[in-house]
Structure 1
Amino acid sequence: MSLILSIKRFLFVGLIVTPLISYADEMTPEQQFEIGKQKALVCITCHGADGISATETYPNLQGQKQQYLVAALKAYKQNQRVDGLAILMQGYAKDLSDQDMKDLAYYFSNVKTDTTHQSQ
């Protein structure tokens, strides 16, 4: 009886759970970008819609390296960054998961400025 139960568990994990776990790895770049874009809505108030801040108070995020952005978010989350307006970022970063950080970093490292409506 326990052999049958073990086989059923193995099949359940192998056929049902594993594909769900690997789903995040199979996202297209467009899907990951859109997920990051949705998560970045809270960021645009200070850092701008395309990651270009309208004021010098807040840094630009557009084009930053993904690894740098993830490391920065982790440092804010762990209260390792304390200079300037770090207290604001600590508040935002404290609830971010590792996946949230990766999604945000992917978005800001790949976003481009929309120049179609800018004056010439």
Structure 2
Amino acid sequence: MRLACLGLALLLASPALAQEGDARAGRRLAGGRCAVCHGNDGIAVQPDAPNLAGQNPAYLSAQLRAFRDKARLHEQMNLMAADLTEADIANLAAWYAAIEVTATPPAR
């Protein structure tokens, strides 16, 4: 158990994973690359695309890396992520994470 926790801590401390992004740079990149499916504000405009607004940046970064490296297969996303740098990924994750999302649960 301790070894697993230590391994996770070392993984999270990795510079590539710990890189903080620039939300403004991410916004510029997302507008030309992601908005067609995921919307300008991270609310999907395509019925089969997920909303990205308010998403956890570590999760977004991991998914973008998986698409880029073809560890996660999706034809369109593999093409879109193929040339993303670590800085691009951090910036995109920062942009989508910075978008505030509110939720209203249905009445009981």
- Work out the CA distance in 2 between the residues paired with 1:79 and 1:95: 12
Q: Distance in 1 between matches of 2:46 and 2:81?
A: 21
How far apart, CA to CA, are the structure 2 residues paired with 1:77 and 1:54?
A: 22
Greater RCO (CA < 8 Å, at least 6 residues apart): 2
Q: Report the Cα distance in structure 2 between the residues aligned to 1:111 and 1:101, rounded to whole angstroms.
A: 16
2:66 corresponds in structure 1 to 75
Which residue of 31, 37, 42 corresponds with 1:46?
37
The structure 2 residue matched to 1:99, chosen from 72, 87, 90, is 87
* Residue identity in the other structure for 2:99: V
- What is the root-mean-square deviation of aligned Cα atoms in Å? 2.0
TM-score where L is the length of structure 1? 0.63
Structure 1 segments (4+ residues) deviating >6 Å? none
Q: Which runs of 5+ in 1 are unaligned?
A: 1-24, 114-120
Which has the larger helix fraction? Answer: 1
Superposition deviation, residue 112 in structure 1: 3.7
Identity of aligned residues (%): 33
Aligned position for 2:27: 37
Rg larger for = 1
Contact 2:37 2:49 in 1 (8 A): yes
- In the alignment, the residues of structure 2 paired with residue 33 and residue 74 of structure 1 have an alpha-carbon distance, to the nearest angstrom, of 18
